[in-house]
Amino acid sequence: MHSGKKVTLVLRPAPSNTGIVFRRVDMTPPALVELHPERVGETMLCTALIQGDGRVSTVEHLLSACAGLGIDNLYVDLDAAEIPIMDGSAGPFLYLLLSAGIEELKAPKRFIRVKQMIEAKRGDGWARLLPYDGFKASFEIDFNHPAVNETSQSLEIDFSHQAYASEIARARTFGFMRDVEMLRSRNLGLGGSLENAIVLDEFRVLNQDGLRYADEFIRHKILDAIGDLYTLGHGIIGAYQGYKSGHAINNLLARELLQQQDAWEMVTLAEEQKDRVIFVDNYAFAQF
């Protein structure tokens, strides 16, 4: 999306308690970039992880798909510094992961349970995590644009009852023609096109096929938030709320959570709790 460079991505299974590890196989030796909120080194229109000489950007859509499927052990091999944008959503990653198959490992699955409200602010935007018996996300945006104004700019989804695959995964990233020159002067958006993003001029959506959801803009913001929070490496038992939030605020929220150690606890899946669902989906689910 941003570098405009071709990249080969390979997803490989990883043993229990490995986490999600990115491997820059184009470097000698391969540079490893582990998943952690403090590894996030850039949040300009994407989430980029940096560890030593290794850098991997635009990780949020792949991480969102992993969160939706409950995948928490994975090797991600790539031969460039950016995850491929695919169609601008998490849908292709979801499809490929499901096609490959998902193995349930023997180690107990761990989740972060929110016990107290945690908040992060920047400008007039904010994001919060609150206690909740499951996982739900609500978001509100405020874009002064005719095409966005015609859609709903607030949404709440409870993933205990609504499927990530059908409600969120196919929502694409979006951008405005008026920003193209500015972005390219910063070496951003060099690979962006109507094939991998919703593009708007001053009045309308330029994509010939229109929107996939009537409120695709707000759904993609929730997709991004789920991916950004998954830099924690674990699913969240709690409620996320965002207002005009983005990658930077979401990362601040994840860091704030780790700092407030009395506001959360790590819990594991117990046999007697298997009927309590966090993510429900037609194909895969995560439970606590």
pLDDT tens digit sequence for 235-268: 999 999 999 999 999 999 999 999 999 999 999 9
What pLDDT was estimated at residue 144?
A: 82
Closest alpha carbon to 222 in 152, 131, 133: 152
Closest alpha carbon to 116 in 259, 222, 273: 259
By annotation, the residues acting in catalysis are 247
What pLDDT was estimated at residue 280?
A: 57
Mean pLDDT to the nearest integer, 17-32: 96
What pLDDT was estimated at residue 285?
A: 37
Residues forming beta bridges with residue 97, ordered by sequence position:
none
pTM of the shown model: 0.92
What pLDDT was estimated at residue 281?
A: 52
Range from 1-5, 47-51, 103-107, 191-195 that averages highest in pLDDT: 47-51
